[in-house]
Structure 1
């Protein structure tokens, strides 16, 4: 079966299932569907294309359930295999916030609307082709007493020449086993408040402001190549990280690294 034919087959399935079903044992929506094994092989051949997975998820709850359980998981394992092995090395077969949320985090820069999480920043969200996530970089975002936690953080997504805001960078990340992390314990012990209105753009969970909790070390600015007093990031209840910074001009960064 050629790739083009498989794509048309998937597209045909989507076009014929435009309603939401109740996903019960007697659901008529499942009749005539290809079974899970065939859909798995189709998307394997399509290299777990995230746009097609997202489109398929909108067809009905049967497809949405399959995408959540299987397709997004395989996408994450293909896109960041070493990172996924580490995140699951504790013995868990799931990821905090579900596989779809993690898949979105890998390829989606959330940006920010003016008046949102980062008040003065107004940059549209967008998909990115590929981003490097680093466990070593993650250490730079943790207080010394929390550095046994495992945090993967992306390189900043650069948005240059943003007027008065200068060169803005957005970064994102994920904690391993956030529910058991020292960061979460410190946030609770300090009585950190959850944001009253905004939620995580990846899993819709509530957010802690790490700047407000005074939990952003100076090492984070060095890792990002950013001004120390212009970094802010949030972590949600599922351990997803999203933040922004004002990037240093390249010449200043070079001088700082030489020192």
Structure 2
């Protein structure tokens, strides 16, 4: 660098926080560095915020993901980029996905004293809509599910008479073939996994009955949506016969749980509809019970901080 290329000291003082030395090297002014240090880097942070404001704009991100039909894989990839994008995804984009997928259910769940909020948070509700938790006791892993409607009509089938006034949205069962090891002892039955969510669970009759009966939380089962503790409605005697009819459960063999946030999940053995099933005089089926469903403790798509050490690592 030649002498003519070195700016004058007056120019440096007016336009630059740096100082050129006689040998052509540049050093940061101590006064400027001290000012940046004492301000906690707010000046630098302001410049960074100015650069990143486009990608962090919530309206821009909403329009982008609306154009790709709220692809959950793309949402998870965005959330892994940095903490600030993760915060936008958790606070805004999962909510918009839920509204796009189930507008009536979201409207019903977000009304009342906790207006604008849903049980367990928006990431948990998005996971409920998109993820079938499977049945670990039957060797059925969880998976991303095709869109399945949630309805109050299905939910009423899961409520006992004394809890008939509660609001529950439930899905139709997601059918799975049993794993080979489990099927060897159960004549190749199919397993149905289902899920749902209560509206206003803290004020519901179902919760009041569980608390009134001193029902214990299951020590080995956690909610696959939010990671909270769960009650077994089967053990509490709150499973009506209408649930078996609705699901087509074989010999009344079903189990389901509800977490303290109001998320419901469970599974059942599905009755065969083919004529090959016959009379089947095997009484041992009547004495069998579905094993308790254990939540999958592997890293799933959506946040489950009580179970998973890492989040958004499924894809």
Q: Answer whether TM exceeds 0.5 for this pair.
A: yes
In structure 2, relative to structure 1, the CA distance for the partners of 1:228 and 1:132 (3 Å cut) is farther
The residue matched to 1:170 in structure 2 has which SS? strand
Match of 1:241 in 2: 264
Pick one of 154, 157, 161 that aligns with 2:171: 154
Pick one of 229, 233, 236 that aligns with 1:210: 233
Deviations 1:86-141 (A, max 9, x none): 2123251011101111111111111233xxxxx4x111111112112111111111
- Structure 2 residue runs of 5 or longer lacking an equivalent are 1-39, 276-315
- Structure 1 residue runs of 5 or longer lacking an equivalent are 1-23, 114-118, 253-259
Match of 1:125 in 2: 142
Alignment pair present for 1:222 and 2:245: yes
Deviations 1:177-199 (A, max 9, x none): 11111100100000000011321
- Contact 2:140 2:178 (8 Å CA) reproduced: no
Pick one of 73, 95, 119 that aligns with 1:73: 95
In structure 2, relative to structure 1, the CA distance for the partners of 1:71 and 1:242 (3 Å cut) is same
- Contact 1:43 1:49 (8 Å CA) reproduced: yes
- Contact 1:218 1:228 (8 Å CA) reproduced: no
- Contact 1:109 1:127 (8 Å CA) reproduced: yes
For residues 78 and 41 of structure 2, the distance between their equivalents in structure 1, rounded to whole angstroms, comes to 21
- Contact 1:205 1:236 (8 Å CA) reproduced: yes
- Contact 1:30 1:62 (8 Å CA) reproduced: no
Match of 1:32 in 2: 51
Alignment pair present for 1:196 and 2:207: no
- Contact 2:197 2:263 (8 Å CA) reproduced: yes
The residue matched to 1:250 in structure 2 has which SS? coil
Structure with greater Cα Rg: 2
Aligned pair count? 224
The residue matched to 2:127 in structure 1 has which SS? helix
Match of 2:199 in 1: 176
Alignment pair present for 1:145 and 2:162: yes
- Contact 2:131 2:144 (8 Å CA) reproduced: yes
The residue matched to 2:255 in structure 1 has which SS? strand
For residues 147 and 101 of structure 1, the distance between their equivalents in structure 2, rounded to whole angstroms, comes to 25
The residue matched to 1:197 in structure 2 has which SS? coil
Match of 1:135 in 2: 152
Match of 2:37 in 1: none
Relative to the length of structure 2, the TM-score reads 0.67
- Contact 1:176 1:239 (8 Å CA) reproduced: yes
